[in-house]
Amino acid sequence: MCGRYASTRKRQELLEEFQVGLDETPEELPADYNVAPTKLVYAVLTRPGETEKGAGKADPVRRLRVLKWGLVPSWAKDPSIGSRMINARMETLGEKPAFRRAFAHRRCLLPADGYYEWQKTEGKNKQPYFIHPSDGGVMAMAGLYEYWKDPSRGDDDPLKWLVTCTVITTTAEDDLGRVHDRMPVIIERDRWADWLDPGRTDPDAVRELFSTTRPGGLALYPVSSEVNSVRNNGPRLVEPEEPESALF
């Protein structure tokens, strides 16, 4: 699974990196070296635009938004279900009711510097590792997002709608599998537009994008167990305890 990651890039950097046409972030999120479930995170998505007069639809627009990590299906009675839906397995996206419609209509990219996984060691302890692009570039994790309407709030309440997201995971490959058997699906730059395309709704056509997605250029190294606690944060969490090793 992917249960923690680092996201430290400033909003303006993400706007430029992902060529965002519309900034819908209410405020800049602080650099976070220990992003945990239920936190607010940046997401890049594409939604239909509006004409100048607000009537009809214009060309789709790539947007930067702030979402809550932990997907809450539209049919959920209680938003607390989101804490159990931080990941969506690639192999069953078209089958699970919680993810099926989002997979067809609401895909996003979740920018990250890298993510953490824990390797089992002798005894009860686990060694945390930081896994990141070896070139220092942004990691675009494949995600889904969903809207949930709070029935207890009035239609004019700005908190009426909750927008949440999940990270899609797949089987870890090669040496990465020795740390953990799952990893986030990483969408390569030349596939960003296809992944975000709201007109691509056929599940089989979307699955084709997975076949062209490679982990490529990842490196990992062990880090301090400080990352185990969500209360800890800061650059020290991604400092290597040993020299890093390239994976691919």
Give the active site residues: 2, 117
Alpha helices in the chain (DSSP H): 11-17, 100-105, 192-196, 203-211
Residue 17 has phi, psi (to 5 degrees) of -60, -40
Q: SS3 for 148-200, per residue? A: EECCCCCCCCCCCEEEEEEEEEEECCHHHHHCCCEEECECCHHHHHHHHCCCC
Give the Cβ contact number of residue 150 at 10 Å.
Answer: 13
d(CA 176, CA 131): 9
- Residues paired with residue 221 on neighbouring β-strands, in sequence order: 130
Strand partners, 87: 167
Which conformational region is residue 166 in: left (phi greater than 0), alpha (psi within -120 to 50 degrees), or beta?
Answer: beta
